[in-house]
Structure 1
Amino acid sequence: MPVLMPEPEGTQLGRATTYAEAYSPELLQPIARSLGRDAIGDHDFQGTDVWRLYEFSWLNARGLPQAAQVELHVPASTPSIIESKSLKLYAMSFAMTRLAGGAAEAESILTRDLSAAAGGPVKAAVHPLGTWKTLVEPMPGDLLEAMCPDVEVEDFEVNPELLRRTEGGPRTAAVCWSTNVFRSLCPVTGQPDFASISLHLAGEPVDPASLLKYLASYRRHRGFHEQCVEQIFHDLRTRFDLKVLEVQASFTRRGGIDINPFRSTVSAEPHRVPRELRQ
């Protein structure tokens, strides 16, 4: 049966946009994580959502515009995510705001406001573009679609029954696999969301072709990025005896923001957050 995430009410998604002329923290809109987790039937998740904002600017004390990249770490333990368009509108409200304290002051304000909206401690880092360094790289892991080029896909709404154990193989295995063909849909607008996903699995062996078919079955699924990753994590955890399970997704940018959820049985924070080739 498809897992349906209810459409959140009252969001800014799909609405005409008016940008604020002054700093406006009231624009931030929390959405309860329970909305997606109730649909999955699982609330036990460890990990972090890493948000990266590539369009962030303010004025210095003399009115000269400043430009920076922002990275946010939102623990999966927070009761709420922040609706992405509301985050964009909030970030844009800094554009005509004078901050005499520069990046450090912006970082302090972001940490305070986003922690309040998420209901728990959010880490914010503001990197002025003159000093920001980043590495663009593919997601780690052997590419499933290269390993299984002849797989036939017929299910395009989430179907965990596709998942299979490797037959005739080892009793346990440790693998790192990835895919670049993941797509889901926004639960409000129906717009497509594309991502690359990396999976680290150790324990009962999962058949790679069945995993690829399962991941492809999200193509018509309507869910926020975090809910999709938690659904993948839940389905693998409940169907296989895994000592290590990590699911990390790098979604392509929308509105100057990319979202990178990470869920794990062994760590609350990802070892690293790749800036994937399409980001």
Structure 2
Amino acid sequence: MSSEHAGKNRHNPLGQAVEYACVYDPGLLFPIPRGDTRAGLGLTASLPFTGCDVWNAWEVSWLEPGGKPRVARARLQLPVASPNLVESKSLKLYLNGFNQERFEHPDDVAAVIARDLSAAAGARVAVELVAPDAGDLPLQAPPGQCLDDIALVVREYQAAPELLLLDQRRGTVEESVHSHLLRSLCPVTGQPDWGTLAVSYAGPAIDHAALLGYIISFRQHQDYHEHCVERMFVDIHRLCTPDRLTIEARYLRRGGLDINPFRSSEADAAPAHGRWYRQ
């Protein structure tokens, strides 16, 4: 049985008591179709954005042939066009199965992970193993102005696109803004997922207070990280029909994984390599 089929035949491990795997098992990976949520947003096969989901897996370990452990961070990049995302707990369980497996070289580990994740996602997943002392993720400020000190009365804590407003006084602008107040909930367990959100666009000016209220409205919204960012892209794009729009979320690490969805109307846009301050 292929790893893709094995994953589809298993139950989602979220919200269930499961034993940590002690052996390598690609069948632990649990794919989740992107299309179901996208259809609810009115999206078709021709997506209004490009992008990727960048994952950092901080708890990757295996054994050398002589039995000595090695550790690394895995940088995973799932293309936005992949039919599936991979549920994060299943990925953690899968990666834990490498702990007692022996490999000749780190490249062999990366190749196996890339093969299995690509099968689960339905598209090529790029995998890079990074040594602990590489220092390749410098801390960075999110782009643009922080909105978090805007005085605001908040009453909505479920995703509320009707809160978004244009700022007619400012006309057409090109700007980047960010907020550290993003919180959404796991759709299965209800556990909170904390993050920083950045919006960069060119077009009719968005009212900053309204945008902050909209971001906060996800506080009790239950969905996967990737779906939240795509919902935001669609809502903001419908409001201001910008010439350019990029939305990026950097979620805090949970279970040894941080997930960073990036969506842009620019075909050649890519997320900056680094960590934002809260990560």
TM-based fold match above 0.5 = yes
Matched, 1:20 2:24: no
* Partner in structure 2 of residue 31 of structure 1: 32
**Matches of 1:97 and 1:13 in 2, distance apart?**
25
Q: Distance in 2 between matches of 1:48 and 1:169?
A: 32
Q: Which residue of 1 aligns with 2:201?
A: 201
The change in CA–CA distance for 1:204 and 1:184 in structure 2 (over 3 A counts) is: same
Letter of the 1:62 partner, please give it. Answer: G
Could you tell me whether the CA contact under 8 Å between 2:262 and 2:271 is conserved in 1? no
Q: Report the CA distance between 1:268 and its aligned residue.
A: 5.5
Q: How many angstroms apart in 2 are the aligned matches of 1:34 and 1:273?
A: 28
User: Which residue of the partner structure matches residue 130 of structure 2?
Assistant: 127
* Stretches of structure 1 lacking an aligned partner (at least 5 in a row): 1-8
* Match of residue 227 from structure 2: 227
Partner of 2:54: 50
Q: SS at the partner of 1:200?
A: strand
Contact 1:199–1:245 (CA under 8 A) maintained in structure 2:
yes
The answer for the alignment partner of 1:184 in structure 2 is 184
Instruction: Give the equivalent residue in structure 1 for 2:3.
Output: none
- Give the corresponding residue for 1:249: 249
Output aligned runs, 1:86-165, within 5 Å.
86-100=90-104, 102-146=105-149, 148=150, 150-165=151-166
**TM-score (structure 2 length as normaliser):** 0.92
Q: CA deviation at 1:269?
A: 5.0
Once the two structures are superposed, residues 86-139 of structure 1 have per-residue CA deviations (whole angstroms, 9 ceiling, x without a partner) of 000011100000001x21111111111111110001100001224353212232
In structure 1, what is the equivalent of residue 77 of structure 2? 73
1:42 CA displacement = 1.9
Checking the alignment, whether the CA contact within 8 Å between 1:138 and 1:274 is kept in structure 2 is no
Quick one: which amino acid aligns to residue 209 of structure 1? Answer: A
CA separation of 1:117 and 1:159: change in aligned 2, threshold 3 A: same
CA contact (8 A) 1:69 1:132 kept: no
SS in 2 for 1:49: strand
Q: How much identity, in percent, do the aligned residues show?
A: 38
The farther-off stretch of 263-272 and 78-87 is 263-272
**CA–CA distance in structure 1, aligned partners of residues 79 and 194 of structure 2:** 22
Tell me the distance in 2 between the aligned counterparts of 1:89 and 1:269: 32
Report deviation, 1:82: 0.2
Shift of 1:15: 1.4
8 A Cα contact 1:48 1:269, kept in partner:
no
Structure 2 counterpart of 1:41, one-letter code:
G
CA deviations over 1:231-259 (Å, ceiling 9, x no partner) = 00000111112011000000111110000
Q: How many residues align?
A: 267
- Kindly state the Cα deviation for residue 153 of structure 1 after the two structures are TM-superposed: 1.2
Q: CA contact under 8 A between 1:246 and 1:265: conserved in structure 2?
A: yes
Alignment partners' CA distance in 1, 2:140 and 2:155: 31
Match of 1:3 in 2: none
Cα contact 2:161–2:235 (8 A) shared by 1: yes
- In 2 relative to 1, CA 39–273 (structure 1 residues): closer, same or farther, beyond 3 Å? farther
The alpha carbon displacement at 1:158 in A equals 1.0
Q: TM-score, normalised by structure 1?
A: 0.92
Is this contact kept in 1: 2:56–2:259, CA < 8 A? yes
RMSD of the alignment, in Å?
1.4
- Structure 1 distance, partners of 2:228, 2:271, is 21
Bigger drift between 239-248 and 30-39 goes to 30-39
- Give the Cα–Cα distance (whole angstroms) in 1 for the partners of residues 177 and 82 of structure 2: 28
The residue type paired with residue 18 of structure 1 is E
The equivalent of 2:4 in structure 1 is none
Moved over 6 A (4+): none
Give the deviation of 1:140 after TM superposition: 1.7
Query: Which SS does the other structure have where 1:168 is aligned?
Result: helix
